[in-house]
Amino acid sequence: MPELPEVETTKRGIEPYLHNQSITKILVRQKSLRIPFNDNLKKHITHVKIKNIKRRAKYIVIDFANEYSMVIHLGMTGNLRASRQKKFLKHDHIIFYLESGNSLIFNDVRRFGLVQIYKTKGSFYLLDNNGPDPFEKKADVDYFYNRIKNSSASIKSILLNHKIISGIGNIYASEILFSTNISPLRMGRDISHTDCKKILQQSKIILNKAIKAGGTTLNDYFNAESKPGYFKIQLNVYGKEGEKCPSCESKISKITQSNRSTYFCKESQN
Ligand SMILES: [Zn+2]
């Protein structure tokens, strides 16, 4: 599933192709996505200059020079690529033709992603439901501490709760907790202000590493025939049940929390 680093890399990858461009035509080959694409709104973003492209949590948002925006979510299997090719791949659902002759293509095998056009001012409701991601100013230590200080949920579940903090994802949650020596089982109310600071710092460090690693695979990403590979960041605990912990002699444990796998070291993390 594309996580925040993959989405950020995608955004950085398509940005140069969209800079100062406008969409001349939108071809919809399959509109039945997680939320059906609304054909009636196409007219609002064609022949209008693209003003800005940004990422919020795991959403890519393209603002146009009128009062419209388009939000894209990659779901489980979605990807976006820029291409000059005229021939389509299987699962290329929506094609945005650009002035430059390039096109921006939304491909999604399982169709859990979405592409929605909306009035910028009204904003898109799924974006409003998301808490800030670790890179947003709003996600400071006081914010995070206040959101979790009375919580009896585990810190692992809290890191995956996008209403509190968005964009962390399951693999990175285990890695962040390992690097802060905090047990995934600890409850929100047992996490100190200092712990919150460490968690936010490590979140940024680890996600940034993944974004950097993604940058190196970008060329492959834009070979029209290929799919983005998972970023190869050095993982310390995730997927390493029974292996030796990188900071002590104990073995890494695997448990299930809220139906998701968690990997951690019982000795190093408490
Ligand atoms: Zn250990």
pLDDT in tens, the chain (270 residues): 778 888 898 898 899 999 999 999 999 999 999 999 999 999 999 999 999 999 998 999 999 999 999 999 998 888 898 888 788 889 999 999 999 999 999 999 999 999 999 999 888 888 888 899 999 999 999 999 999 999 999 999 999 999 999 989 898 999 999 999 999 999 999 999 999 999 999 999 999 988 887 754 444 444 333 444 445 678 899 999 999 999 998 999 999 999 999 999 999 999
Residues 233, 235: Cα–Cα separation, whole Å: 6
> What domains are there in the chain, each with its CATH number?
4-128 (3.20.190.10), 141-264 (1.10.8.50)
Distance of CA 8 to the CA centre of its chain: 7
Told to judge if 119 belongs to the known catalytic residues of this protein, a careful annotator would answer no
Told to judge if 260 belongs to the known catalytic residues of this protein, a careful annotator would answer yes
Q: Is 91 annotated as a binding residue?
A: yes
Give this prediction's pTM: 0.86
Q: Is 56 annotated as a binding residue?
A: no
pLDDT of residue 231: 56
Residue 89 CA, ligand 1 centroid: distance in Å: 46
Told to judge if 5 belongs to the known catalytic residues of this protein, a careful annotator would answer no
> To 10 degrees, what angle do helices 4-18 and 193-216 make?
50
pLDDT of residue 221: 43
Catalytic residue among 58, 147, 156, 198: 58
- Going by the DSSP 8-state scheme, the letter that residue 43 receives in this structure is G
First to last CA, the chain: 29
pLDDT of residue 234: 80
Cβ–Cβ under 8 Å, residues 69 and 124: yes
Told to judge if 3 belongs to the known catalytic residues of this protein, a careful annotator would answer yes
Residue 9 CA, ligand 1 centroid: distance in Å: 32
pLDDT of residue 232: 60
pLDDT of residue 215: 55
Residue 207 CA, ligand 1 centroid: distance in Å: 22
